[in-house]
A and B are shown apart, each in its own frame.
Chain A
Amino acid sequence: MTSTALDRTVVAEEPTRDDVRVLRRQLGPGPRIRFAFWIGPALLLAIWVVGSLTGFIAPQVLTAPWDVVKEFGDQWSNHDLLGNITASLRRVVYGLTLGTAAGFALALLSGLSRLGEAVIDGPIQIKRAIPTLALIPLFVAWFGIGEQMKIITIALISMIPIYINTHNGLRGIDGRYAELAETLDIGRGTFLRHVVLPGALPGFLLGLRFAVTSAMLGLVVVEQYNSLSGIGHMMTLAQEYGQTSVIVVGLVLYGLYGFLADAAVRLVERKALSWRRTLEG
């Protein structure tokens, strides 16, 4: 009896599919937007194009995008732009590789041994307080004005964020994992490979993102020092001849470097930290 009565009410209410909810005001950022990564740069480009078209941005202030493209072609075919790009790229890659390796090794030493920390951490903090760019005059005196000085400066400037963030990630590893490893009778090498390195990886990758940007900063500055090649060299020449469009070509290239390098690190981050992505959803 009761069940038939219930059935009747269910049947009576079924056709309506009202969606009445009581929703709170959303305070979080909400769901992800597709291609969100490209929206900001695209907007910037749009402002540049529209500004130049309407004359709001005068060509003497900032060269119009199409003139930059034209200048790019001219530099490419007449002034060995490719050679300049590869020269700059080589400096960044060498410097960044050296700096990353050094920063990572020092962070491991200082993070895993008390003696290492006592010896390494202090000098790094002192070095951190001195802007690397302020050391360039000294490096010029020590290493000359050639490639060596440039690569060492870039290495030093990118080493710091790697060290700081890797060290931080290392020390942030839950001590309970070390305890677990002790109860499983695990050797030091296995512990390092399976607990310490994966645990420090998020910190290291964050450091790498900072390091990429720092390396670009270093590159821009060292290339102003008596370079015979590279994007900085091209821009210094253009400054002397008052060619704004060439300078803008250089700026766009620098921006593109940084943007692509950051995107690459993020891609690595997504692949290597997929265990964490499951948490992010």
Chain B
Amino acid sequence: MATDVGGLTATTTGVTVRNLHRSFNRSGGVLNGLDLDIAPGEFVALIGRSGSGKSTLLRALAGLDRDVQGYGRISVPEQVSVVFQDSRLLPWKRLLANVTFGLDGKDAAERGLRALTEVGLAGRESAWPAELSGGQQQRAALARSLVREPQLLLADEPFGALDALTRLQMHELLRKLCAVHRPAVLLVTHDVDEAIVLADRVILLDGGVVATDVRIDLAQRSQADPGFAGLRHQLLDALGATGEHLGSDFIAPGQRRVS
């Protein structure tokens, strides 16, 4: 089994994407010959403007793009877990059953309980999902992906719907869990700060390919680091979010776009 961490094959499988093309209609592709490598245990944050193909890439890696046109080569580890923006807990299952859903084996419940403890939800295993707050639901979703010991964790804006304080707590939690479990991570986010604080590497999609690929070598993972502002500016600039790039897309209130 590939979950055998001691085996050579398991530790060397990362993510390899070569010449990936995906398009939803004839007029133009969302991904146009994208190449990407993620090493085992590497934390990669994926940013880009809306419509740049972040989610398309993530869904391709998750194996959820059956009906999308395109071609290219993808190789991912055997054990892949996905965390969505919404927690997707089944409302008719109690928390523990949600976390262990699809697991078999006698120790499933025990592993589920351990995972719930890891994300700080010990004692809530028999709660209904509807009784939890948004942050708790997302933590349960995290527990559900980690209980499978993934070699690759795909996260599609997992903290996008959370408030700022909860989001900071989740950053801390995710970083801790990744340090323990060492999965390769691909985190899709629209938050540049989040990307810099969490990831080993930030890549930016533009025009359907990787436009920018930055390694984050900050001494301390916070905005207090002197290098933070520079990185932040560099990435925002590449995103076209700083002043001079607003250009034609920017419409002042009351104006109408002439097309």
Contacts and interface: CB of A to CB of B under 8 A. Distances in A.
Interface of A: 176-177, 179-186, 190, 194-195, 198-199, 201, 273, 275-276, 278-279
B86 to A, nearest CB: 7
A194 B90 contact: yes
Contacts of B88: 176-177, 179-180
Contacts of B92: 198-199, 201, 273, 275-276
A194 B93 CA distance: 9
A125 to B, nearest CB: 28
Interface residues of B, number: 20
B84 A180 contact: yes
A194 B91 CA distance: 11
Contact of A182 (B64, B91, B101): B64
B91 A185 contact: no
Given A176-B84, A190-B102, A279-B130, A183 B90 contact: no
Given A184-B148, A186-B102, 8 more contacts: A179-B88, A184-B101, A186-B101, A194-B90, A198-B93, A275-B91, A275-B92, A276-B91
Contacts of B81: 183
16 contacts: A176-B84, A176-B88, A177-B90, A179-B64, A179-B88, A180-B84, A183-B81, A183-B82, A184-B101, A184-B144, A184-B148, A186-B102, A275-B92, A275-B93, A275-B128, A278-B131
Given A177-B90, A183-B64, A275 B82 contact: no
A183 B130 CA distance: 22
A276 to B, nearest CB: 7
Contacts of B91: 275-276
A241 B53 CA distance: 81
Contacts of A279: 130
